[in-house]
Amino acid sequence: MKVLLLGNSSLVRRRVLPALARLGVRDIDVASVSRGADVALPPGATGRRYDDYRAALERSDAALVYVSTVNSTHEELAEGALDRGFHVVVDKPACLSVEASRRLVRLARQRGRCLAEATVYGYHPLYREVRRIFSEAGRSPTRLTATFSFPPLHPDNYRYRAALGGGSLLDLGPYAVTPGRLLFGSAEPASIACRVVERAGEVDASFSVLMGFPGGRSLVGHYGMTTGYQNRLDVLGPDVVVSIDRAFSPPADLPIQLGVLERDRRRTVEVPAADSFAEFFRAVFEAIERGDHDGLAGDLLADAILLEALRRAAS
């Protein structure tokens, strides 16, 4: 499947292009308005380069568009791609409002096209392994404790610009709203408490959240752009605890060590190295091939609704 990349972001260069190469994608067009000279395709890949997004959408013969631009331009570019008949994947957050997400999902369904948000960490097989561990123990997760925080970025980073869709709630909020879907099933939280802890100029820089789910389940999370690096998720249930390091950005080339505590027995379960971006794209390609991709749009919309509720709670 030929892919058109809108944006030559760091994420595209570090994770998206290698993932596409792993899946054997060799036809890749790239549009970049600021880094056109730096576009470097994987060995063996070919494609056209554009310095204008609109021109790329008009001229490229790709089947799938991946939008990896600043957050404030996602909606416009995704809409333009869907209007021209492309399948579309958008970096998280797909949109800056739930209304925009609803509109894009309606448009994708009207056009019969795939629309997906690239919150990809849950496609790593480590989450399948976590669910297996609980299932074999005859238990279910009841508590999630998450931390995803890192040192301040360069002051010029778009995440510090409100007009560009910056702020920790938009950038890291997707990692707060998705663990419940992955590990509690389809249940929506019954309550959300969220507080912005620090600000950086015009945007929120860190926040803490408590979500209560039906059945006595909960998630506690701390997220931000102001501390030493921490990327961890602890999954707790009766008699079972699974601890995951690098939970929200598992490396593509290293195995993941799960720390498992069952009653009084500690052990380590090694999950082989896997590329969560490649696994995500594999799922998207297979859904497009089947013509059955409504679930991806449904996940995007469900996460957008919860992210909106999170932001509303924080305000």
Alpha-carbon distance 116 to 281, whole Å? Answer: 10
Q: Provide the pLDDT for residue 36.
A: 56
The tens digit of pLDDT for each residue in 257-274 reads: 999 999 989 999 999 999
Q: Provide the pLDDT for residue 39.
A: 80
**Between residues 109 and 36, the one the model is more confident about:** 109
Burial of 146 (0-12, 13-18, 19+ CB in 10 A): buried
CB atoms within 10 A of CB 6: 30
Mean pLDDT on 210-228: 97
Mean pLDDT on 89-105: 98
Mean pLDDT on 202-223: 97
pLDDT confidence band for 187 (50 / 70 / 90): confident
Q: What is the pTM of this model?
A: 0.96
Residue 89 pLDDT exceeds 90: yes
CB 203 within 8 A of CB 109: no
Domains, in order of start, for the chain? 3-120+279-298 (3.40.50.720), 125-273 (3.30.360.10)
Q: Provide the pLDDT for residue 280.
A: 98
Pairing between β-strand 256-262 and β-strand 265-271 as defined by DSSP bridges: antiparallel
Crossing angle for the helix pair 294-314 and 276-290, nearest 10 degrees? 130
Residue 221 pLDDT exceeds 80: yes
Q: Provide the pLDDT for residue 12.
A: 95
Mean pLDDT on 133-144: 97
pLDDT confidence band for 100 (50 / 70 / 90): very high
What proportion of the chain, given as a percentage, has pLDDT over 70? 99
Cα-Cα-Cα-Cα dihedral of 60, 64, 66, 67, to 10°? Answer: 70
